[in-house]
Amino acid sequence: MALAEGQVPGVRWIAPVSFVVATEFVYWSGWHDLRLALPFVLLGAVLFLLQRRADAGASLGVELRRGAWLVVHLAALTALSWLGTFGGSARLPAPYDTLVVGVLALAVFGWAVRAGAQHLRTSQISAA
């Protein structure tokens, strides 16, 4: 099977595994750090949205739908950190907390890829 130009071998499994591992590393940093960091990241996303130029292309509603995966990911990670065993309330016991975070990351990764592919399709159509 020949690879397309610029295609990285194994990217179909490397990318989702990397996203899950990165999400786990963030989760494992603990509730004490995440209770401050993740809300600030969400605030940054809101500020970015407010600062975006009106002529940037897509409408605000379209932009919100395309980027909703990031907001959901950060909000869910904050909630799971509070519920989990890494400095949280331990309402979600180990190892189930880590498993739930992994499943969340995999689901969000799929959502993000679909959103990105849709964005590329619509931007290629509008450019033509």
Q: What is the pLDDT of residue 59?
A: 75
| Residue for token pair 């990285």 | 8
Q: What pLDDT is stored for residue 28 in this prediction?
A: 97
Confidence (pLDDT) at 128: 58
47-64 pLDDT tens trace: 887 777 655 566 777 778
Alpha carbons 26 and 115: distance in angstroms, whole number: 23
Question: Residue-wise over 23-32: b if at least 16 C-beta within 10 A, else e?
Answer: beebbbeebe
**What is the residue-level pLDDT of the chain in tens, covering all 128 positions?**
566 667 888 989 999 999 999 999 999 999 999 999 988 988 888 888 777 765 556 677 777 888 899 989 999 999 999 999 999 999 999 999 999 999 999 999 999 999 999 888 887 666 55
Give the pLDDT confidence score for residue 96 in this predicted structure: 98
Query: What's residue 60's pLDDT?
Result: 73
Residue type, 117: A
What pLDDT is stored for residue 2 in this prediction?
60
